[in-house]
């Protein structure tokens, strides 16, 4: 009794078909004669991103293309029954994404799981609109369960395979959260592949994913995604790989991305490049970010000058709290990482450092100078990075001002710069 | 001036950046099984087998170069490529074979640890478990970059063999003659040794390891020229070490009395009459080689199986995220180490078997490699030149040939 109920539940749930089952399903014409078996199936993403549009049927030597609207019914046990006689011989067209050829065994990006996965099988959902049966791609299958299916496919009847795989937990990714990677831009357009889903990911996750891909695929992603997202992700990537990505891109696109990076990270990235390439990229950059980056490029990599960035807020000696607040408003993009305001004299020489939080303790009109730290530590641009690390450690610094030979404020080193140095060691 | 300096620094940086994969792979190649095979060859046949090193080096360079070229051009590991181009079934079959063959290799490494330390009267029941735990932690808890640096230092230790080769004062004239004079004998023992020599020098796992390491290093098609030099130098160094091992054993053991040695330990003991240093260096080299390979082999196996079959891999992931990877890695070490502790387990047979299995599996790795590297849509301008294909196919045919000959002898021997 129980077994019967269970069977009924199963058959009710039987509205899916694995791709391994679809291939080799027999195809019968309107008179019920078998004309061949399914060899592959294809999506036409510009028309519909998940509906299987074409079924490639092999009978004898030639392959036919069966459009989805030429099908009457699809079932695992009876195969595919057609409703139309007029089949066209198969010819490859560029708008077709073939599941067996282009997806199976290839790598795709699992956007929610934030990783690169290899497609072992696909779960197709069987739908019926009263007129005909059709299939949509529902999940991409990975893991042992789908490996078992692939290994047994053709050797063991499909129903048995379904029973055998029962005890293994399924591991699937919804097709909606998958992103196919296609290095060829022409083909990308025809297959309607975009990397928009990737733009919503955290830059650090995107960076991890990109590191797992091949150089051509990396290049394809950085070429098409928004420059700001690209810059954030690029900042999180290993310097050597940064260089190879920037080198592969068109100089204009590379310049767009570098402009969006913080100047010190941009300088580090350009430093890794061959001279001619980095000059090409600099040449394409807008003048303001370009001059900031160029200043930083002059410093040796392992000195304070090479570590520092120019994203700081500095005010005159006699500035008040309200002026400071105004300056902060004007530099909104810096706020996320800002914790100190610097005071400089008329010649630009550093005179005091104000911890940001102290601004809350006094009234608007108060001079900033009285909030200054009792003593502050500074280094010159030539200071070796090991000394810088030691200062951060010894004095528990978050921000360290860097001055040039004449004592003028040149930039700041922040804790995250120090952390990247330590990570690379 | 500054510009020239900068350019020089750039080129030096490129070379240092690619330094690693080729050297490490080629040196791990002279693992415990390798040292045993070379020693056995030298002890039994003296200088006769030396001629094989020239063609073996050529084939080694050709195969290694193909792997690193594929890695640089495609940015994918060999098992990835096999999966993408040949499908799941072939990949699965190949990975299953690779796991079995590599497991026998891991056993050979731990056997090497056991016998080298027994020379210093350390019990294997102490040395092997310690080595297994040490290896496991070094890879799982260590940082890949520092592990690679340790490996590079490990490569330098192979110099010990060259020194011990000189210490036994072999007959250099004879060594030089037989290095270029091929000697073929239709004798089962000799052919068995030939397969072993090829199998130990050009092992299937190396192809997978090298290609992954090249990809991991991020060596691009542009830096490939520097990488090629590194691979070639690595291969030559490997076979120089092999040469000195054979010569040492030929000079120390064969010249006294041709012997079937049972163990790399015996080879080391055979060197004892030529001074304490020859003996010490030989044993230290064996220990280094065994530990070195015991680190690399299980790791590379776990990586390429997981890559090929689409499981998560990488030592930077947690156990729960990559259970298959850690499971496979750990069981290779545990089983490999445990087997060597079973009293009366035929260690020597195992080591020899592992080398012969390497030789037999090799064509099945080389054939897909040559097919892949000739695919234009995959490799672009980096497809194989014609003479490369020629060498590769000749290698495949020759290895299949000698494997068949050996099997033939085995079957005739049984009846």
Residue A181 counted as domain residue: no
Nearest to A120 among B84, B220, B310 (CB): B310
Residues of A whose CB is below 8 A from B216: none
User: Residue B4's pLDDT band (boundaries 50, 70, 90)?
Assistant: low
Same domain, A27 and A135: yes
pLDDT at B414 > cutoff 60 = no
Q: pLDDT tens digits for A268-282?
A: 888 888 778 888 888
Q: Higher-confidence residue: A137 or B202?
A: A137
Residue B314 counted as domain residue: yes
pLDDT at A135 > cutoff 90 = yes
pLDDT at B28 > cutoff 90 = no
Measure Cα distances from B76 to A195, A218, B126, B210, B213 in Å. 21, 13, 40, 11, 10
Residue A3 counted as domain residue: no
Question: For position A114, which CATH number holds?
Answer: 2.30.30.240
Percent of chain A residues past pLDDT 90, beyond the cut: 19
Residues A11-24 have a mean pLDDT of 80
Residues of B whose CB is below 8 A from A276: none
Residue B27 counted as domain residue: yes
CA B218 to chain CA centroid, nearest Å = 22
Residue A163: CB atoms within 10 Å:
12
Q: pLDDT tens digits for B307-326?
A: 889 888 877 778 888 899 99
- Whether B69 has its CB under 8 Å from any CB of chain A: the answer is no
Same domain, A137 and A283: no
Q: What value of ipTM does the predicted structure carry?
A: 0.78
Residues of A whose CB is below 8 A from B88: 105, 120, 147, 150-151
Residue A90 counted as domain residue: yes
The pLDDT value recorded for residue A12 is 45
Measured in residues, chain B has a length of 415
Q: Higher-confidence residue: B12 or B232?
A: B232
Residue B13 counted as domain residue: no
Q: pLDDT tens digits for A384-421?
A: 888 888 888 888 888 899 988 888 888 889 888 888 78
Q: pLDDT tens digits for A337-369?
A: 788 888 888 888 888 888 888 888 887 778 888
Question: Six-digit token pair at A243?
Answer: 């260089």
Residue of B nearest to A272 (CA): B10
The pLDDT value recorded for residue A262 is 82
Fill in the DSSP letter of residue A153.
B
β-bridge partners, A36: A27
Q: Which of B267, B409, B262, B288 is nearest to B350 (CA)?
A: B262
First vs last Cα of chain B: how many Å apart?
77
- Whether B10 has its CB under 8 Å from any CB of chain A: the answer is yes
Range of lowest pLDDT (A182-186, B17-21, B34-38, B94-98):
B17-21
| Average per-residue pLDDT for chain B | 83
Same domain, A398 and A291: no
Question: For position B369, which CATH number holds?
Answer: 1.20.1740.10
Give exposure, A13-40, as e/b (b: 16+ Cβ within 10 Å): eeeebbbbbbbebebbeeeeeebbebbb
- Scan for tokens 């051009």, then name that residue: B73
- The residue segments making up the domain with residue B116 are 22-414
Question: For position A285, which CATH number holds?
Answer: 1.25.60.10
- Whether B74 has its CB under 8 Å from any CB of chain A: the answer is yes
Q: Which of A115, A144, A173 is the last residue of a domain?
A: A173
Q: Which residues of A touch B (CB under 8 A)?
A: 104-107, 115, 117-120, 142-143, 147, 150-151, 213-217, 238, 240-241, 244, 247, 274-275
Residue B379 counted as domain residue: yes
Residues of A whose CB is below 8 A from B87: 104-105
User: Residue B3's pLDDT band (boundaries 50, 70, 90)?
Assistant: low
Q: pLDDT tens digits for A60-88?
A: 778 889 999 999 999 888 889 999 888 88
Fill in the DSSP letter of residue A170.
P
Residue B249: CB atoms within 10 Å:
34
Q: pLDDT tens digits for B220-230?
A: 777 788 888 88
User: Residue B89's pLDDT band (boundaries 50, 70, 90)?
Assistant: very high
Residue of A nearest to B218 (CA): A241
Nearest to A118 among B7, B10, B83 (CB): B83
Residues of B whose CB is below 8 A from A103: none
**Shortest distance, CA A233 to any CA of chain B (angstroms):** 18
Residue B11 counted as domain residue: no
| Average per-residue pLDDT for chain A | 85
Residue of A nearest to B93 (CA): A151
CB contact under 8 A, A247 and B222: yes
Residue of B nearest to A184 (CA): B377
User: Residue B17's pLDDT band (boundaries 50, 70, 90)?
Assistant: low
Range of lowest pLDDT (A2-11, B64-73, B184-193, B377-386):
A2-11
- Whether B309 has its CB under 8 Å from any CB of chain A: the answer is yes
Residue B381 counted as domain residue: yes
Measure Cα distances from A266 to A70, A171, A242, A290, A292 in Å. 56, 40, 10, 10, 10
Q: How many helices (H) and strands (E) does chain A have?
A: 18, 21
Same domain, A163 and A50: yes
H or E stretch including B338? helix B323-341
Size of interface A-B (CB pairs under 8 A): 49
Q: pLDDT tens digits for B257-303?
A: 787 877 777 777 777 777 777 778 778 888 888 888 888 899 889 98
**Interface residue of A215, A274, A279, A299 to substitute, partner B, most B CBs within 10 Å:** A215
Same domain, A385 and A292: no
Same domain, A123 and A60: yes
Q: How many domains does chain B have?
A: 1
Same domain, A153 and A214: no
Nearest to B89 among A117, A151, A216 (CB): A151
- Scan for tokens 């999506």, then name that residue: A43
Quote the CA–CA distance of B380 and B374 in Å, as a whole number: 9
Residues 81-110 on B with a CB inside 8 Å of A are 83-84, 87-89, 92
Residue B3 counted as domain residue: no
Residue A363 counted as domain residue: yes
Residues B166-178 have a mean pLDDT of 84
Q: Which of A242, A266, A298 is the last residue of a domain?
A: A298
Residues A94-105 have a mean pLDDT of 91
Q: Residue A228, class by beta-carbon neighbours within 10 Å (0-12 exposed, 13-18 middle, 19+ buried)?
A: middle
Same domain, A290 and A386: no
Percent of chain B residues past pLDDT 70, beyond the cut: 92
Residues A132-160 have a mean pLDDT of 91
Residue B4 counted as domain residue: no
Same domain, A160 and A19: yes
- The residue segments making up the domain with residue A205 are 194-298
Residues of B whose CB is below 8 A from A120: 88, 310
Question: Following DSSP, what letter does each residue of B220-272 receive, concatenated?
Answer: -GGGHHHHHHHHHHHHHHHHHHHHHHHHHHIIIIITT------SHHHHHHHHG
Nearest to B84 among A106, A151, A275 (CB): A106
pLDDT at A205 > cutoff 60 = yes
H or E stretch including B176? helix B172-180
Same domain, A229 and A279: yes
Residues A323-329 have a mean pLDDT of 87
Measure Cα distances from B359 to A69, B34, B192 in Å. 55, 12, 10
Q: pLDDT tens digits for B109-127?
A: 998 888 888 888 888 899 9
Q: pLDDT tens digits for B324-383?
A: 999 999 999 999 999 989 888 777 777 777 877 887 788 888 889 999 999 888 888 888
Q: Which of A173, A208, A225 is the last residue of a domain?
A: A173
Q: Are A394 and A417 in contact (CB under 8 A)?
A: no
**Interface residue of A20, A102, A105 to substitute, partner B, most B CBs within 10 Å:** A105
**Most trustworthy range by pLDDT among A9-18, A218-227, B330-339:** B330-339
Same domain, A31 and A84: yes
Nearest to B75 among A120, A142, A215 (CB): A215
CB contact under 8 A, B88 and A105: yes
Quote the CA–CA distance of A8 and B62 in Å, as a whole number: 61
The pLDDT value recorded for residue A370 is 82
Same domain, A208 and A112: no
Question: For position A417, which CATH number holds?
Answer: 3.10.580.10
Question: Six-digit token pair at A97?
Answer: 């994404």
Q: How many domains does chain A have?
A: 3
């Amino acid at each position: 009794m129980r077994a019967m109920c269970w069977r009924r539940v199963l058959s009710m749930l039987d509205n899916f078909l694995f791709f391994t089952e679809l291939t080799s399903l027999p195809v019968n014409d309107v008179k019920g004669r078998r004309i061949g078996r399914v060899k592959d199936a294809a999506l036409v993403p510009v028309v519909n991103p998940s509906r299987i549009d074409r079924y490639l049927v092999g009978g004898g030597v030639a392959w036919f293309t069966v459009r989805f609207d030429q099908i009457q019914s699809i079932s695992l046990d009876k195969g595919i029954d057609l409703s139309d006689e007029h089949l066209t011989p198969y010819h490859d067209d560029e708008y077709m994404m073939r599941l067996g050829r282009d997806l199976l065994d290839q790598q795709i990006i699992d956007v929610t799981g934030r990783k690169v996965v290899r497609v072992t099988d696909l779960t197709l959902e069987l739908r019926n609109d009263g007129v005909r049966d059709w299939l949509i791609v529902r999940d991409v299958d990975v893991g042992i369960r789908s490996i078992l299916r692939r290994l047994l496919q053709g050797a063991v009847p499909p129903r048995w395979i379904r029973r055998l795989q029962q005890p293994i937990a399924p591991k699937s990714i919804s097709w909606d959260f998958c992103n196919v990677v296609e290095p060829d831009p022409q083909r990308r357009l025809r297959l309607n592949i975009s990397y928009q889903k990737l733009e919503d990911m955290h830059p650090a996750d995107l960076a991890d994913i990109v590191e797992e891909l091949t150089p051509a695929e990396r290049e394809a992603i950085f070429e098409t995604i928004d420059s700001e997202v690209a810059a954030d992700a690029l900042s999180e990537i290993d310097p050597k790989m940064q260089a190879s990505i920037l080198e592969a891109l068109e100089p204009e696109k590379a310049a767009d991305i570098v402009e969006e990076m913080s100047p010190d990270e941009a300088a580090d990235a350009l430093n890794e490049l061959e001279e001619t390439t980095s000059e090409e990229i600099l040449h394409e950059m807008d003048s303001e970010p370009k001059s900031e980056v160029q200043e930083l490029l002059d410093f040796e990599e392992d000195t304070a000058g090479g570590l520092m960035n120019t994203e700081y807020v500095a005010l005159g000696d006699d500035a008040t709290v309200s002026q400071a607040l105004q300056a902060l408003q004007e530099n909104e993009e810096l706020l996320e990482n800002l914790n100190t305001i610097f005071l400089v004299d008329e010649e630009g020489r550093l005179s005091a450092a104000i911890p940001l939080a102290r601004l809350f303790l006094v009234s608007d009109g108060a001079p900033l100078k009285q909030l200054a730290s009792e003593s502050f530590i500074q280094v010159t641009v030539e200071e070796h990075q090991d000394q810088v690390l030691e200062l951060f450690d010894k004095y528990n610094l978050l921000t360290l001002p860097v001055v040039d030979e004449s004592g003028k404020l040149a930039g700041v080193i922040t804790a995250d710069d120090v952390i990247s140095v330590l990570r690379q060691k | 001036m500054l510009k020239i300096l900068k350019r020089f620094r750039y080129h030096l940086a490129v070379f240092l950046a690619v330094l690693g994969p080729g050297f490490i792979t080629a040196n791990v190649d002279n693992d415990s099984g390798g040292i045993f095979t070379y020693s056995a060859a030298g002890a039994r046949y003296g200088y006769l087998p030396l001629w094989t090193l020239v063609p073996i080096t050529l084939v080694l360079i050709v195969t290694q170069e193909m792997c690193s070229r594929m890695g640089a051009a495609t940015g994918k590991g060999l098992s990835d490529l096999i999966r993408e181009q040949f499908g799941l079934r072939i990949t699965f079959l190949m990975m299953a074979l690779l796991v079995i063959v590599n497991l026998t290799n891991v056993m050979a490494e731990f056997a090497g640890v056991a016998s080298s330390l027994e020379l210093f009267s350390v019990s294997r029941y102490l040395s092997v478990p310690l080595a297994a735990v040490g290896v496991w932690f070094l890879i799982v808890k260590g940082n890949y970059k520092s592990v690679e640096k340790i490996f590079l230092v490990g490569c330098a230790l192979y110099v010990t063999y060259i020194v011990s080769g000189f210490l036994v004062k072999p007959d250099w004239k004879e060594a030089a003659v037989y290095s270029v004079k091929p000697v073929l004998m239709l004798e089962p023992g000799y052919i068995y040794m030939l397969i072993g020599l090829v199998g130990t020098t050009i092992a299937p796992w190396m192809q997978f390891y090298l290609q992954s390491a090249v990809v991991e290093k991020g060596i691009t098609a542009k830096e490939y020229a520097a990488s090629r030099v590194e691979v070639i130098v690595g291969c030559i160094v490997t076979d120089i070490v092999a040469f000195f091992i054979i010569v040492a054993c030929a000079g120390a053991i064969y010249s006294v009395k041709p012997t079937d040695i049972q163990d790399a330990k015996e080879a080391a003991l055979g060197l004892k009459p030529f001074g304490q240093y020859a003996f010490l260096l030989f044993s230290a080299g064996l220990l280094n080689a065994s530990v070195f390979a015991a680190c690399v082999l299980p790791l590379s196996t776990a990586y390429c199986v997981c890559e090929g079959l689409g499981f998560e891999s990488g030592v930077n992931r947690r156990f729960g995220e990559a259970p298959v990877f850690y499971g496979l890695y750990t069981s290779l070490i545990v089983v490999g180490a445990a087997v060597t502790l079973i009293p009366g387990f035929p260690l020597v047979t195992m080591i020899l078997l592992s080398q012969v299995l390497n030789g037999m599996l090799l064509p099945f790795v080389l054939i897909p490699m040559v097919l892949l590297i000739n695919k234009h849509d995959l490799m672009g301008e980096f497809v194989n030149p014609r003479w490369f294909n020629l060498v590769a196919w000749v290698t495949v045919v020759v290895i299949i040939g000698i494997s068949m000959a050996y099997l033939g002898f085995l079957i005739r021997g049984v009846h």
